[in-house]
Amino acid sequence: MLDQKLIRENPSFVEDNLSLRGKVYDIDFIHKLSLKRKEIDIEISSLQSKSKKLSKIIGQEIRNTNNANSQELNELKDKGNKYKIKVSEFEEKKRILDKQLQDEISKLPNFPSKDAPLGENENNNIQIKEWGDPLKKDNLKAHWEIGENLNLFDSVKSTKISKSRFITLTGNGARLERALVNFMLDVHSNNGYLELMPPALVNSESLQGSGQLPKFSKESFKCANDDLWLSPTAEVPLTAFHKNEIIDPKILPLKYVAYSPCFRREAGSYGRDTKGLIRLHQFNKVELYWFCHPNKSLEAHKEITEDAESILKKLNLPYRSVDICTGDLGFSSSRTFDLEVWLPSSKCYREISSCSNCLDFQARRSSIRTKIDKKTSFIHTLNGSGLAIGRTMAAILENGQQPDGSVKIPDALVPYFGSSFIKTA
């Protein structure tokens, strides 16, 4: 959420910053609404002030004279009544304006950082780092072939249970998924993160608070009879964990790691990544999340990204990191570093983690603050996948595939998985 005062007082600044995203945002309407709202607010405030003073006089008069029905008093009461009517008229107008303003402002995305590369779409993202040796042989199998050969998952049967884009992990596949979750949670919680296991269903307010609503309601699954949605990412419950709080600055930063299933409708991606583990309606993810002091989010952003990277390094998976350009940034983010893992079958890097600094954008929507020099200020929030489990599995299968059809398990994962290779039965 952007600051309404900023929009009111400096609309062109707001428009300029938003336009870095490569789209035109019309602030004028909001600007005018806000000015009008302020005007009405001042009017109401002065009327209320008068009416309040009058009430006090009436109260005193009653106590002094012990008579609540003198003619003089009735005249004063009439006067009070007139104030009341006027105030309620203005308040009705204000309520309508507030609703409109809230609706419009909550549709505006965050400002892109000045450090983010300028650009319109993903083609303008900038690679900032490459790690490991990407495997570049021909005739490598895709992970869904490997998975089928080794009986790691079954997508056909899963359509009986649900529909396409759902998967059932079987045998070693399920075991590998579980091993990855435990491995990642252990690494992060040994590195100063507090582990949380949040609810998978979240209310509308929580989705609004982290930025998924109101604009992206079509991306999430909604429960029919309750104000509850299947959470698309643990970022949502983690943000809401401290909703409406003023956090003691001494305990900042708060660093959380959470495993959660994630549910996404993937509307508009028909026909893309229909095979395997890359794009599913339900997938598992280990998420990193920071609540930090507003002066420290830039360093925090580097740190959270490094923490996500550490998993790829430990698993010995080649990857690169990408600085997301202004036109490709997510709604709530001011700057994002994506980590992309090498998938040798398709000879390309695929996103496996997205590490974003949302500055005070989510904190403002969720009202999460701290005290700095006796003033309340919004904190900064950061999130990063550490990592998406399904895509990690895909990368392990493809990068670890052996000529005999087996898959080598990364050394760091062996104690969790219980074996160095996945072989045909």
Residue selected from 56, 107, 215, 302 as contacting RNA according to rule CB under 7 A: 56
Minimum distance between the CB of residue 390 and RNA, rounded to whole angstroms?
A: 25
Q: Nearer to RNA by C-beta: 13 or 269?
A: 13
CA–CA separation, 38 and 385 (whole Å): 41
368-372 vs 245-247, strand pairing mode: parallel
Minimum distance of RNA from residue 162's CB (angstroms): 21
Residue ranges in 245-340 assigned as alpha helix (H): 297-314
Report in angstroms how near the CB of residue 376 gets to RNA at its nearest: 4
**Number of continuous H segments (helices) and E segments (strands) in the chain:** 13, 17
Distance, CA of 98 to CA of 132 (rounded, Å): 53
Q: How far apart are CA 338 and CA 361, in angstroms?
A: 19
Helix, strand, coil shares of the chain, percent, nearest 5, are: 45, 20, 35
Under rule CB under 7 A, residue 77 binds RNA = yes
Nearer to RNA, 192 or 199 (CB): 199
Binding residues among 232-261 for RNA as defined by CB under 7 A:
246
- What phi and psi values does residue 2 have, to the nearest 5 degrees? -85, 160
The answer to whether 51 contacts RNA (rule: CB under 7 A) is yes
Residue 123: C-alpha distances to residues 118, 147, 232, 325, 326 (Å): 11, 31, 26, 9, 11
The minimum distance between CB 197 and RNA, in angstroms, equals: 13
| Residue nearer to RNA on the CB measure, 51 or 172 | 51
* 48 binds RNA, rule: CB under 7 A: yes
CA distance linking residue 281 with residue 279, whole number of Å: 7
Instruction: Work out whether 83 is an interface residue with RNA (CB under 7 A).
Output: yes
In the three-class reduction of DSSP (H, G, I as helix; E, B as strand; rest coil), residue 189 is classed as: helix
Q: Which of residues 84-123 bind RNA (CB under 7 A)?
A: 84, 88, 95
Tell me if 5 contacts RNA by CB under 7 A: yes
Q: N- to C-terminal Cα distance for the chain? A: 54
How many residues line the site for RNA (CB under 7 A)? 33
Q: Which stretch binds RNA (CB under 7 A): 44-52, 107-115, 213-221, 393-401?
A: 44-52
**Residue 139 makes contact with RNA by CB under 7 A:** no
Residue 105 phi, psi (nearest 5): -70, -35
- Candidates 54-62, 121-129, 188-196, 400-408 — which segment interacts with RNA by CB under 7 A? 54-62
Give the x/- contact pattern for RNA in 367-386, rule: CB under 7 A.
Answer: --x-x----x----------
Whole-number Å distance between alpha carbons of 376 and 380: 13
Smallest distance from the beta carbon of 169 to RNA, in angstroms? 22
**Beta-strand pair 254-263/194-196:** parallel
Q: Residue 86 or 320: which CB sits closer to RNA? A: 86
Which positions lie near RNA, rule CB under 7 A?
4-5, 8, 38, 41-42, 44-46, 48-49, 51-56, 58-59, 62, 68, 76-77, 80-81, 83-84, 88, 95, 246, 369, 371, 376
